[in-house]
Structure 1
């Protein structure tokens, strides 16, 4: 996906020149895929441009959404993106680290595209380190924050590269979380998977059922978008 200064969707536009984390395909898949059904209150951890908050606001037409962002420039840009959207009256932004964020209520759903390059070399740009690396938010802190903010019957949706997803899943399951839904993302058939999207909850799923799916962005030719990808993103992408 091109890293333009703005990205236009069918119902809103994302300005992103002040954000280290730009609009990317895997984040769009998370926003379209995450289970936000029947949620009255949703929390977006690490809002960045506000992309995920806006996508889930479009999908769930009544939920109130809180979004937490630690970086000041991203926080202000997310605020501008939200304010110019049709969903501005249902999204509230907070300039805070999630470890320090408190709320008077618990959330039915949490969605997050967290810092994840735990083992990569650090960038000399601190803003990029915060956005891309688990420098300011490690797995334990993230899970502790989610458990504190999520309702006992709630669920959280998260995105990681494949290696980090395995590490995170091991950590989550060791602290009492159940993986109930997983989507493995590929560029196209013949390529290795590059992202995993996961849904966790504290309550054991009925009959121990866990759904494991795969999604290809492109057809085998690497050019035409796969029909399943088009179906998932058709309400958002102008090209579909």
Structure 2
């Protein structure tokens, strides 16, 4: 399968691993990585989100974890071929049983959310079979530093339930970015950011396209340091 080329790195991808998609690009471009020094990505796929975050924060170290061995293989290739290779590491592991002494000041994930599928890659990457929201949130609360941020992108339909479980695990919602696919349409995704300490709450709106297949100025500005747009 043809690699996806970004300005500073490329993504080798496979039909057996979730390919570069808008959700990953948005989280990679919008997650609050500015103050982070030690970042964990849960469910790396091909490593896109960590690579974007590494481009945005030139000092942070990154660890990616995935239960799909094919994803781990591609993430390793993409990490090693990037300009940020010395700061990037990935491992094959089940996050539910992940134990490590160090804590992280940013944890990011584009987590599983589809309830049913016949696809094997969907079964692991997009269902709650291997890792449900409660497991993801509970484990992340244990691994996050007190002042750290837990950042996810999920379908809007799951937002209330995800936030409820997060509150039960000691998290405070500090940012909600409502993602609209096409201008004047309904919200389709949310980027939610949580902290273990109370902070001022911020709510934002983000529009991907101003009309079908026409990116909004907001999206073009956000991704201008990443995407190679055809003229």
Query: What is the aligned counterpart of 2:215 among 189, 210, 225?
Result: 225
Q: Tell me the TM-score normalised to structure 2 length.
A: 0.95
Query: 1 CA distance for matches of 2:164 and 2:35?
Result: 28
Match of 1:212 in 2: 203
SS in 1 for 2:206: strand
1:180 and 2:165 matched: no
Q: 1:236 matched to which residue of 2? A: 226
Measured after TM superposition, the shift of residue 18 of structure 1 is 5.0
Question: Gaps spanning 5+ residues in structure 1: where?
Answer: none
Aligned to 2:106: 109
Question: Which portions of structure 1, spanning 4 or more consecutive aligned residues, are displaced by more than 6 angstroms?
Answer: none
**CA 1:18 to 1:94, structure 2 compared with 1: closer, same or farther past 3 Å?**
farther
TM (norm. structure 1) is 0.92
Name the counterpart of 1:88.
Answer: 85
- Whether 1:200 aligns to 2:190 is no
Q: Distance in 2 between matches of 1:59 and 1:193?
A: 26
Identify unmatched segments of 5+ residues in structure 2: none
Alignment RMSD, CA only? 1.4
Contact 1:18 1:73 in 2 (8 A): no
Deviation at 1:50, TM superposition (A): 0.4
Displacement after TM superposition at 1:48 (Å): 0.7
1:162 maps to 156
1:1-240 paired onto structure 2 within 5 Å:
5-17=2-14, 19-118=16-115, 122-205=116-199, 209-219=200-210, 221-239=211-229
Q: How far apart are residue 225 of structure 1 and its match?
A: 1.4
